[in-house]
Amino acid sequence: MKRSLVFAFTLASGLALSAAAQTPAASAAPAGPAKIAIIAFQAAVGQTNEFQRNFADLQKKYEPKRSELKNLNDEIENLTKQLQAQGDKLGETERASRAKTIDDKKKQLQRSAEDAQKDFQDEMQEMYNGVASKVYDVLASYVQQQGYTVVLDVSQQQNPVLWAADSTNITKPILDAYNVKSGVPAPPPSAQGAAPAAPKPAPKAPAAH
């Protein structure tokens, strides 16, 4: 049993960030030249004070389960080492009994880890969607006030944006506006690195010569 399975659900949080808020029908665009902006929407959601606070709380909630799985994994490793060390000194029945015990515990560990991973992912997804929908509301209000006609999300690794000027990136303004609106204070420095990493904006293409 690989140790990675025991802690797999602690890494699943990043997967939850693959879903973005549902986009409602676009409102009528103002007349005149198009004004385009880009945003790393997933990064904006993941970096909000509210999301980081909620994520830290979710990690604390699953800490007992992580400890439980680690203890079970350690027990399996110890039993396996004992069987390997004493195997040639044990009778066939005793050796088979110990092997079955180890196998049963491995199956228990796998089931528990998979259940924990699913529960963690489900809660993470629900938490992300809740914050994302509110960040989208702030985004919609901001772009209307600023007169933007199109906003492109560059969160995904594959997106149509090959190059964009820094001035068109509204990720930070949206993040700051949401933090002010939510009223949630910034988490302490020790907790800021706990939230899962979100995709970064698309890199700029080299300037043509």
SS3 22: coil
pLDDT tens per residue across span 134-170: 999 999 999 999 999 999 999 887 888 888 899 999 9
- Helix, strand, coil percentages in the chain from 3-state DSSP, rounded to 5: 65, 5, 30
pLDDT of residue 196: 54
34-187 domain in CATH 3.30.910.20?
yes
pLDDT of residue 137: 97
More reliable by pLDDT, 114 or 188: 114
| pLDDT band (50, 70, 90) for residue 202 | very low
Domain ranges for the chain, please list them: 34-187
Distance CA 157, CA 173 (A): 22
Q: For 37, phi and psi rounded to 5 degrees? A: -130, 160
Q: Residue 39: enclosing H or E segment and its boundaries? A: strand 36-39
Helices (H) and strands (E) in the chain, counts: 8, 2
pLDDT of residue 37: 95
Average pLDDT score over residue span 10-15: 38
Distance CA 117, CA 92 (A): 37
* Stated pTM of the model: 0.73
pLDDT of residue 19: 39
- Using CA atoms, how far residue 190 sits from 2, 53, 56, 88, 194, in Å, is 29, 12, 11, 50, 8
pLDDT tens per residue across span 72-118: 999 999 999 999 998 788 889 999 999 999 999 999 999 999 999 99
pLDDT of residue 158: 81
Average pLDDT score over residue span 64-72: 97
pLDDT of residue 13: 37
pLDDT of residue 207: 38
pLDDT of residue 31: 57
pLDDT tens per residue across span 27-65: 554 556 789 999 999 999 999 999 999 999 999 999 999
Distance CA 125, CA 89 (A): 51
Q: Is 175's pLDDT higher than 70? A: yes
